[in-house]
Amino acid sequence: MSGFINSVSIQDVPINQVNFSNGVIPVTVTNLYTIGAGLNDTDNTLSTVGNSAIQLVSNSLFANDNLVSIQSQIDLATQGDVVYCSSGSYGERMVINNKSNIGIIAPNVGNTICEVLNGLEITGTSETIRLSSIQFEGTGNSINGRGRHYLQKCAFQGTSISTNTLTISGFDAGKFMTLENCEFDNYCSITVANTFAGVLFFINCNFGGASITLSQFSNQQVFINNSAGLTSYPINATLIGMNVLTTGESRLSTTTLDAPYLIIGGSSTSGSVNEVLTTDGVSGLKLTAIGGPSSFFNVFYETKNYTAPLSGSTITLFEVSNQAGIIPNLNTVINFNSNFSFTIGPQVALFKLINTDTSTEIQSFRQTITGTTHQHIPLQFNFTMPDVYTLSYKIEVTTVAGLSVISVDTDDYYSIMVNEIQAP
């Protein structure tokens, strides 16, 4: 390189010297700013220190524990602004008055937490207020305004000395408010006032044993969806999905259940094991033993031809092992139809239903057979199912005098239907 460079002038860049391989050249720098040094002291916006016009994040305000209060930033916020809060303990009350479409966001709850010690107040004409990951303490919280508020991952905590109350009132008619993944403890009290005109959703919330008073006009104004920690199921509310009491009792609420019947798998104050939700068409829904009131519960049905010829003074017309789906201790009805032949008539035939597991007779009856050609005899066995869930059984026919041969061939058929019946 010919000649020498004595100096370099560079504007608006964050450098203060230029290094060359054979030495250092002094540099004259003007309008040098430190990028991302923190909050601007003038308006608390994140910008280049020294030139607030170069703002790095628009529509954003920042609160810092022991440095900048949340309330001061709420007061500065205009429509579309978001206030970002550092973790910490803020000894103040958060008052949102006559604000529209602003958000207040804190870090997700984990090792750090953002707590407001004197509660929350949304009032005036405030609308579309969004709060996230803030814990409210103290003795009173009030949410009013025009509505369309959204609280996510917020917590409300009281103490054994002072109850932390949350009162929801006002709103424009039909406008909603949603609390999603929010938490309460048993030192909290939630009240929906009779002046509340909106619609309130609790979704995936943990009430933690908090007391709930619902005084709004209609149960269609408060919806509780997939939440836990309820001390009881509120009457003046609409329950959706699975909701759980502090006792561990759960209730599944749905407007449409796409299933033929619903078996209750455990005991509770309103249902017992192996009960079914059913109706007689008159009295409405109720829980009864499987089968429903005065109705049949079909266990088994089959119709087919015999697969091989059979003959003798005693033959088995039908046999099955480990018939499943039978409920113990219910009235069981087996309807059986079969074709068969006698070589000599008339004869007295003995029909037996036999438990092949225990080799005991369940039920039997006699019937006179007059002809010798193909006979079609409808049979019905009616008995109380024993205390087991499966049954192995067979149906036999025997000539009482033993003088005739009974036979079936592959042209003969049988049909069998097993039902259980629940008395009203």
- Render pLDDT for 90-143 as a digit per residue (tens, 0 to 9): 999 999 999 999 999 998 866 668 999 999 999 999 999 999 999 999 989 999
Confidence (pLDDT) at 313:
87
CATH number, domain 298-422:
2.60.120.1340
- CA 357 – CA 391 distance, rounded (Å): 8
pLDDT over 50 (residue 238)? yes
Q: What is the 3-state secondary structure (H, E, C) of 218-233?
A: CHHHEEEECCECECCC
Give the pLDDT confidence score for residue 275 in this predicted structure.
56
Q: Is the pLDDT of residue 250 over 60?
A: yes
Position 43 scores a pLDDT of 52
Quick check: pTM over 0.75? no
User: What superfamily in CATH does domain 64-256 come from?
Assistant: Single-stranded right-handed beta-helix, Pectin lyase-like (2.160.20.10)
Calculate the CA 42 to chain-centre distance.
Answer: 49
The confidence score (pLDDT) of residue 199 equals 92
Q: What is the pLDDT of residues 208-224, one digit of tens each?
A: 999 999 999 888 899 99
Name the residue with tokens 């003046």.
236
The residues of the chain that CATH labels 2.160.20.10 are: 64-256
Strand partners, 199: 176
Distance between CA atoms of residues 394 and 105, nearest Å: 72
Phi-psi region of 56 (alpha: psi -120 to 50; beta: other; left: phi over 0): alpha
pLDDT at residue 17 tops 60: no
Closest to 239 measured CA to CA, from 230, 247, 179, 248: 230
In this predicted structure, the answer to whether residue 280 has a pLDDT above a threshold of 90 is no
Cα–Cα dist 36/54, whole Å: 11
Which two tokens mark 372?
A: 């010798």
Position 423 confidence tier, pLDDT thresholds 50, 70, 90: low
Quick count: other Cβ atoms within 10 Å of Cβ 134? Answer: 25
pLDDT at 153: 93
With cut-offs at 50, 70 and 90, classify the pLDDT of residue 289: low
pLDDT in tens, 31-80: 544 444 444 444 555 544 455 555 556 789 999 998 999 999 999 999 99
**Percentage with pLDDT > 90 across the chain:** 42
Phi, psi of 61 (to 5 degrees): -125, 155
Residue 295 has pLDDT above 60, yes or no: no
Phi-psi region of 353 (alpha: psi -120 to 50; beta: other; left: phi over 0): beta
pLDDT at residue 268, rounded to an integer: 41
Mean residue pLDDT of the chain comes to 79
Widest Cα–Cα separation across the chain:
138
How far is Cα 37 from Cα 164, in angstroms, rounded to an integer? Answer: 39
Asked whether the predicted pLDDT for residue 16 surpasses 70, the reply is: no
Say what the pLDDT of residue 25 is.
55
The ranges of the chain annotated as CATH 2.60.120.1340 are: 298-422
pLDDT for 207: 96
DSSP 379-405: EEEEEE--S-S-EEEEEEEEESSS-S-
pLDDT for res 24: 53
CA angle 413, 419, 424 (to 5 degrees): 150
Would you state the pLDDT for residue 300?
Answer: 79
Write down the number of H helices and E strands in the chain.
1, 39
Q: In DSSP terms, which residues pair with 88 in a beta bridge?
A: 114
Q: How confident is the model over 296-310, as a mean pLDDT? A: 79
